[in-house]
Structure 1
């Protein structure tokens, strides 16, 4: 059963992951729309991931990492 409410560090880490996704995407010279198209997601999903608004699915992180051509570990490192 999930903890409710979540500890403060959880959304903080989620935003940090989103920041790393955004940085990797821009370093690759890709727009959110291009990444979304490469991995079969919509742009809003990529945006929500980058903003850290919602908990991303592991599958979405895997798809985005592949679309940007970076290891998943680079996106989720502590």
Structure 2
């Protein structure tokens, strides 16, 4: 099976926008990446990669992050 091709640029742009929204809500809540990761039950490095747009977050992970930030998922995506 060949490796998956990289996502198109427009997908990467939207991924970064989601990361920007997560970072904005997290900082407004005065949470560190480490604390958000703890509340969401994920790894701090995962939070960093999602916020930077370097990693595509699974829907389950986005749901956990939204819950940890106490915002509706739609506010992040």
Same fold flag (TM > 0.5) = yes
TM-score, with normalisation over the residues of structure 2?
Answer: 0.90
Q: Deviations over 1:39-74 (max 9, x none)?
A: 111100111110010111111100001001111101
The number of aligned residues is 74
TM-score, normalised with respect to structure 1: 0.89
Match of 1:34 in 2: 35
Asked if 1:14 is matched to 2:15, the reply is yes
Q: Could you tell me which runs of 5 or more consecutive residues in structure 2 were left unpaired when the two chains were aligned.
A: none
CA distance in 1: counterparts of 2:54 and 2:6, whole angstroms? 15
- 1:22-61 alignment, distance < 5 Å: 22-61=23-62
CA separation of 1:63 and 1:4: change in aligned 2, threshold 3 A: same
Alignment gaps of 5+ in structure 1: none
1:10-55: CA deviation from partner (whole Å, max 9, x where unpaired): 0000000000000000011111011111111110011111001011
1:29 is paired with a residue whose SS is coil
- Asked if 1:74 corresponds to 2:62, the answer is no
